[in-house]
Structure 1
Amino acid sequence: MSEHLLNAALTAAGRGWPVIPLHPGTKRAAGHPERSCPETGRCAHGHVTPEQRATTDPGLIRAAWTARPYNVGIATGPAGLLVVDLDPLKPEEPIGAPDGATSLQALCERAGQHLPTTYRVRTARGGQHLYFSAPAGMRLKCSVDRLGRHIDTRAWGGYVVAPGSTTPEGPYTVVDDREPAPLPDWLREALTAAPAAVAGPLRLPVVAGSLAAQAALEAECAAVAAAPDGTRNTVLNRSAFKVGRFIAWGDLARQVVEEAFQAAGESAGLAAAECRTTIRSALDGSIRTARPREAT
């Protein structure tokens, strides 16, 4: 038994946030998954999910965390929370791609809004959990990348790892201990609104330069505009990097390339600031590493 983890569970429960045990040292909920439910005991009348098992009862919490050094999960829906999960980049992702914090900044810029300061947790990999109180009477669901690349949300049907827990990547620690702020209306609307359809075909600017350069720019911009959700920023980074060599060779003006990819990225649904950051980083890297034309 870990006194530290027991205290973490009791602290969360003391805020009115129902908790569940997570396998020691992991983010996985303890207990059996639905696919292997024995349909006996507490599951005799149907599988009981971790969300349904979550509790604020100090006696049940002491019994569970005295038995094993479980990590602590907070069932966000029953807790009345919506948690914005800002993920850092993975090691295999391209340099210059936006992480969750950058994507959130771009989202705020596009909406002309800002987020209030609120309860905040640093995650094991260096990301952030921003806790907001969910609107009364609404059952917001979890989302993945709906608000932007590397931005997930946890509400009904999900949970977050509570501060005080530790995984092999590091601990979860409180950065700001204030009460969660109410979820801003504009962010709620972004989570519940139907995705906007792209109006009309993408139109590229007329560019000077060789026919090969023009063809490459048009093909790569078309690939960005058609990229499926969840891959758009990666495709933008890769495509801009490919075209950057034509700038290094003098076939295309950098401003024209940036404007073309900016239009393609925004037409695909990426935020303006996110596009600018990715395009500039990709072009900088491509120009810096471009080989002479004769070597290609």
Structure 2
Amino acid sequence: MATTDRQARTPALAHALSAAERGLAVFPLSRTKLPALRSPHRDDPDPSGPRCHGECGRFGHGVYDASTDPDRIRALFAAAPWATGYGIACGLPPHHLIGVDLDTKAGTDAPAALRALARRHLFVLPATVVVLTPSGGCHLWLSGPPDVVVPNSAGRLAPGIDVRGAGGYLVGPGSRTGHGVYTTAPGTAHLAPAPCPRALLRLLLPPPRPPRRPSPASAGRHGRGLVQFVLAAHEGRRNSRLFWAACRAYESGIGPALADSLVDAALHTGLSAHEARATVASAARLTGHRP
């Protein structure tokens, strides 16, 4: 997967640029598999304040630094010359990547558990990109629908099966960590992430929570906060932010009243009216409401 870009000074940067060419948003990782750049807000006097996801324009926001722009990627790696790997942000267009992490440590057999789930729920795992981890496990790359936000989870499907969705990341092939190198399984490097089977997708989504009936005062504050959350979305995160905010609104019982305001906020960020309304309707259905 490595690119031949002459400005790729390190193997990690070369692999990251190659992944970006395939539409995958990347950022630098250290040998510990953690983001290589420290948060610029680590010394802020009020750590309990609103969390910045890169709105400040500085590097050091982990997965929120991820980009497909070659110049930004080179700048990220120039700021972290010690990086030995790269992370791939999940949930972003065009692939809306979902990572299924199958572990084999501590006596677990996650691949067998996933096969058992496939038999029980009648789905077939498609041919897709498989990344082998230094510990003997593997990552399956799947593509999700653009209007569905898959959350991160650990062991919820079965012991040893972790899921990386919106706000999560996968260690990219070619990355070197303290335990070894991540590599692409033979015969899968040329593949695109395959669509996630619908039966598996249903398992990856949390069950809808019953709506709460908020007080008028708290509903107003909560609603304004959700609208501001959507307004602060950058390109590449507009749809996922809108979906998340709409889900929270419907779970809180203020979805019907707030839907138009959320759509208006999404239009302000650049989403089309059709896409914004479809995303809000999808959130309503997921949380057990009628759009």
Q: Same fold (TM over 0.5)?
A: yes
Cα offset for 1:45?
A: 8.7
- Once residues 157 and 193 of structure 1 are traced to their aligned partners in structure 2, the CA distance between those partners, rounded to angstroms, is 16
Aligned partner of 1:7 among 9, 14, 19 = 14
- Once residues 194 and 125 of structure 1 are traced to their aligned partners in structure 2, the CA distance between those partners, rounded to angstroms, is 32
The share of aligned pairs that are identical, in percent, is 38
Structure 1: segments with no counterpart, 5+ residues? 91-96, 196-296
Aligned partner of 1:17 among 21, 24, 28 = 24
Q: For this pair of structures, how many residues does the alignment match?
A: 186
Over 3 Å counting, the alpha-carbon distance change for 1:46 and 1:167 in structure 2 is: closer
Over 3 Å counting, the alpha-carbon distance change for 1:154 and 1:11 in structure 2 is: same
Cα deviation digits, residues 114-160 of structure 1 (max 9, x gap): 20110110012111110011112111111111211100110101111
Tell me the residue number matched to 2:139: 129
Matched position secondary structure for 1:146: coil
Aligned partner of 1:190 among 193, 200, 203 = 203
**Native 8 Å contact 2:87 2:172 kept in 1:** yes
**Native 8 Å contact 1:22 1:29 kept in 2:** yes
Structure 2: segments with no counterpart, 5+ residues? 1-7, 55-60, 209-291
Tell me the residue number matched to 2:157: 147
Q: Which has the larger radius of gyration?
A: 1
**Native 8 Å contact 1:54 1:75 kept in 2:** yes
Over 3 Å counting, the alpha-carbon distance change for 1:28 and 1:193 in structure 2 is: closer
Tell me the residue number matched to 1:26: 32
Cα deviation digits, residues 9-38 of structure 1 (max 9, x gap): 101111111111112x22001233598253
Tell me the residue number matched to 2:117: 107
Tell me the residue number matched to 1:55: 67
Matched position secondary structure for 1:36: coil
Q: Which stretch of the first structure deviates more once superposed, 176-185 or 30-39? A: 30-39
Matched position secondary structure for 1:109: helix
- Once residues 160 and 34 of structure 1 are traced to their aligned partners in structure 2, the CA distance between those partners, rounded to angstroms, is 23
**1:65 matched to 2:77:** yes
**1:87 matched to 2:103:** yes
Cα offset for 1:78?
A: 2.0
**Native 8 Å contact 2:124 2:197 kept in 1:** no
- Once residues 26 and 168 of structure 1 are traced to their aligned partners in structure 2, the CA distance between those partners, rounded to angstroms, is 6
Aligned partner of 1:157 among 139, 150, 167 = 167
AA of the residue aligned to 2:77 = W
Over 3 Å counting, the alpha-carbon distance change for 1:110 and 1:98 in structure 2 is: farther
Over 3 Å counting, the alpha-carbon distance change for 1:16 and 1:166 in structure 2 is: same
Q: Which stretch of the first structure deviates more once superposed, 71-80 or 25-34? A: 25-34
Over 3 Å counting, the alpha-carbon distance change for 1:141 and 1:45 in structure 2 is: closer
AA of the residue aligned to 1:62 = R
AA of the residue aligned to 2:89 = A
